[in-house]
Structure 1
Amino acid sequence: MPVCRQHYLDGQIVIEATRIVMDIERSTEVARC
């Protein structure tokens, strides 16, 4: 069970990191224009 929970948390962290990176990429594109 703890392994599954850890795996789930790792997945959530990856999703959050991806979302943050996407937001940064989008904001830099807007700033560049």
Structure 2
Amino acid sequence: MFRLRIFQNHGFFYAEFTLIYSKENKVRLFSKYAANF
């Protein structure tokens, strides 16, 4: 399962990527990145 959340904070756009593996119920969070537009 792959989820992508985009929200705006302090004039920056943040995209948070979350990868969830159904195997062994492992959940891994990938680093957030900020891009200033």
Q: Determine if the TM-score, normalized by the shorter chain, exceeds 0.5.
A: no
TM range (shorter): under 0.3
The structure that is helix-richer by fraction is 1
The structure that is strand-richer by fraction is 2
TM-score after normalising by structure 2: 0.20
User: Which of the two has higher C-alpha Rg?
Assistant: 1
Q: Which has the higher contact order (CA 8 A, sep 6+)?
A: 2
TM-score after normalising by structure 1: 0.20
